[in-house]
Amino acid sequence: MLTRHFWMMVHRYTGLAMACFLILVALIGSLLAFSIEINHRISPRFYARPQPGAAPLGFATFVERAEALVPQGQVYWIQIADRDQIDVRLSPCRNPATGKPYRLAVDDLYLNPWTAQELARRKPGEPYPTAFVDTQGYHGELCLGNFGFRFMGITALIWTIDCFSGFYLSLPATLQRFWPRWRQAWLVKSSASAAPVNFDLYRAGGLWRWPRLFVFAWSGVMFNLPEVYKGVSSAVFHDRWPQADAEMPMPATGNERPPRLDLQAALSNAERYRLPEDGEMPMPGTGAERPPRLDLHALSTTQHLMAEQATIHCPSVGERTAFAYLSDNRTHFYNVKSSRDISDSDSFTTVTFDGDTGAPRSVHIPTGEHNGDTVSLWLLYLHEAGMFGLPYHIFVCVLGSSCSPTPACTSGGERGRAEFLQPVNSRPRSRRPSSSPGARHYDP
User: In angstroms, rounded to a whole number, what is the distance separating the alpha carbons of residues 59 and 32?
Assistant: 30
Task: Round the CA-based radius of gyration of the chain to a whole number and report it.
Answer: 29
C-alpha dihedral sign at 163, 164, 169, 171? positive
Q: Decide the pairing of beta strands 108-111 and 331-338.
A: unpaired
Amino acid letter for position 214: F
Q: To 5 degrees, how large is the angle CA 328–CA 334–CA 338? A: 145
Which residues pair with residue 101 across a beta bridge? 94
Note whether 187 and 202 are within 8 A (CB): no
- For each of the chain's 444 residues, which pLDDT tens digit applies? 678 889 999 999 998 889 888 888 888 888 888 888 888 888 888 999 988 888 888 888 888 899 899 999 888 888 887 778 999 998 888 888 888 889 888 989 999 999 999 999 988 888 777 656 555 567 888 888 889 899 999 999 999 999 999 999 999 988 889 999 999 999 988 776 778 888 888 889 889 999 999 999 999 999 999 999 999 998 888 776 544 333 444 455 555 555 544 566 666 656 555 444 434 433 333 333 333 222 223 234 334 434 444 455 566 777 788 888 877 777 877 888 888 888 888 888 887 777 777 677 777 788 888 888 899 999 999 998 989 999 999 999 988 887 655 544 444 444 444 443 444 344 444 444 433 333 333 233
SS3 392: helix
Specify the pLDDT at position 163: 93
Q: How many CB atoms lie within 10 A of CB 316?
A: 11
Specify the pLDDT at position 420: 38
Domain ranges of the chain: 4-37+137-238+390-425, 44-128
Specify the pLDDT at position 414: 45
How buried is residue 158: exposed, middle or buried, by Cβ count under 10 Å (0-12/13-18/19+)? middle
Specify the pLDDT at position 117: 94
Specify the pLDDT at position 180: 92
Backbone angles phi, psi at 148, to 5 degrees: -65, -35
Closest to 319 measured CA to CA, from 342, 343, 302: 302
Note whether 361 and 352 are within 8 A (CB): yes
Note whether 26 and 383 are within 8 A (CB): no
Distances (CA, A) of 179 to 185, 191, 200: 10, 22, 17
- DSSP 8-class letter at 101: B
C-alpha dihedral sign at 22, 23, 24, 29? positive
Buried-exposed string 345-381: b where 16+ CB fall within 10 A, e elsewhere: ebbbbbbbbbbeebbbbbbbbbbebbebbbbbbebbb
Closest to 219 measured CA to CA, from 47, 339, 375: 375
Q: How many CB atoms lie within 10 A of CB 220?
A: 26
Note whether 218 and 160 are within 8 A (CB): yes
Contacts of 153 (CB under 8 A, 6+ apart): 220, 221, 223, 224, 225, 228
Contacts of 94 (CB under 8 A, 6+ apart): 100, 101, 102, 254, 255
pTM, full prediction: 0.73
Note whether 410 and 17 are within 8 A (CB): no
User: In angstroms, rounded to a whole number, what is the distance separating the alpha carbons of residues 336 and 105?
Assistant: 30
